[in-house]
Amino acid sequence: MAFEYAKRIKRLPPYLFAEIEKIIREKKAQGIDLISLSIGDPDLPPPRFIIETLKQEAANPKNHNYSFSQGEPDFREAVAGWYKRRFNVDLAQDQVVALLGSKEGIANIARAFINPSDRVLVPDPAYPVYANGSTILSDGKVVPMPLLEENGFRPDLEGIDAKGVKMMFLNYPNNPTAATVDKKFLKQAVDFAEDNNIILCYDNAYSEITYDGYCAPSILEVDGAIDVAVEFHSLSKTFNMTGDRIGFAVGNKQLVSGLTKVKSQIDSGPPVYIQKVAVKALSAYTGEEQPDFLKKNNRILQERRDMLVEALRKIGYECDKPKATFYVWVNCKGDSMRFASKVLDAGVVLAPGIGFGKFGEGYARIAFTQPKESIIEACNRIAAAFR
Ligand SMILES: Cc1ncc(COP(=O)(O)O)c(C=O)c1O
């Protein structure tokens, strides 16, 4: 028997990473040795104190009941405390909601505010969830905002036709381009959202993965942001906890409340013991500065970044050293699928830019989420492929 998919499912484009995973599985089944630099899942472990806290909290039988959809009060308090210390932003408890990873919140926010055919501004290239899991699965209409290299991979806000637009996604430090922004740009974005009555969803998942002294801002640091914006955060990248599924959304009270309403009909909060671990993790920030664990983590990533960029330059691919994220966005001088498949034949998996949107064509994203030795070997293989 075959059942017909809902129209919204049929509208979904294929999910790039599912396709890549399938190719990896097939190649591995054929015994081919592959180095995967395609997916943003850190190879580095969570800090030891996280594992110890997790063991302790998971061993407590009281931590295995359902948790509140909005998140446990101590978790929300810890998030508010972190915002104060890290960004000097004041948040009340009802301006915070716990998420089962930020992806879930990014997808569910549209369910709370998007009606069929509402237009949603989505960066292109971008993390695919804004367009797919969020907008299309809520029957909204995706309006791409090109992120062009000549504009520093920022959307041209002045050139946007905002008619019928209800929501907009922005993400800096950016995946996949690794571009960063300053508060001046964020102020322009907030003004644009205010002037056009648009909900501004700001994805700050990479705010802590930074190099060369760069410190990523929160959109909530900007005047007026609290009237229009909700910011998504995650412990996935900051604490190498991608599989633990814990994140949060903060900001405008009505936006947080809308998201909570949807969530309360779909799931409960993240496991209580994971929220307790998150409290401990966030409290490692005693001031504005990053905790020692993170400094060490970012030093390792920075060393890999430098090595990768220098190796790519030697092979003939010019690219900037990113100030944040663990991605290099390289101009591959042509068809990105062809580039990726040539590299794949040489035993290296990377993400073709076209998978992040039309304006990602001509680029490839390389994640430095593998040990140094693997990155060196991957670069040798890429060099051999293009010799
Ligand atoms: C830009 C961006 N936002 C959000 C996420 C989701 O992270 P998580 O759901 O693990 O919090 C990712 C994951 O790769 C990402 O790249």
Instruction: Return the ligand 1 atom nearest residue 100 CA.
Output: 9
**Long-range interactions of 136-141: CB distance < 8 A, separation 24+:** 136/8, 136/11, 136/12, 137/8, 137/12, 137/107, 137/110, 137/111, 138/110, 138/111, 138/114, 139/8, 139/114, 139/115, 140/110, 140/114, 140/115, 140/116, 140/166, 140/167, 141/117
Q: What is the pLDDT of residue 318?
A: 84
Measuring from atom 3 of ligand 1, which residue has the nearest CA? 205
- Statement: residue 18 has pLDDT above 90: no
Q: In which band, very low, low, confident or very high, does the pLDDT at 294 lie, cut at 50, 70 and 90?
A: very high
Task: Tell me the pLDDT tens digit for each residue of 322-371.
Answer: 999 999 999 999 999 999 989 998 999 999 999 999 999 999 999 999 99
Asked if residue 198 lies in contact with residue 167, where contact means CB atoms within 8 angstroms, the answer is yes
- Statement: residue 281 has pLDDT above 90: yes
How many Cα neighbours within 13 Å face the side chain of 167? 29
Average pLDDT, the chain: 95
Q: In which band, very low, low, confident or very high, does the pLDDT at 40 lie, cut at 50, 70 and 90?
A: confident
Instruction: Return the ligand 1 atom nearest residue 175 CA.
Output: 1
pTM summary value: 0.97
**For a pocket test of ligand 1, which of 170, 180, 201, 203 has the largest count of ligand atoms closer than 8 A to its C-beta?**
203
Q: How far is the CA of 232 from the centre of ligand 1 (A)?
A: 9
Distance of CA 68 to the CA centre of its chain: 25
Residues touching ligand 1 (Cβ under 6 Å) are 40, 101-103, 127, 171, 175, 203, 205, 234, 236, 242, 247
**For a pocket test of ligand 1, which of 97, 127, 235 has the largest count of ligand atoms closer than 8 A to its C-beta?**
127
**For a pocket test of ligand 1, which of 38, 202, 207, 237 has the largest count of ligand atoms closer than 8 A to its C-beta?**
237
Instruction: Return the ligand 1 atom nearest residue 234 CA.
Output: 11
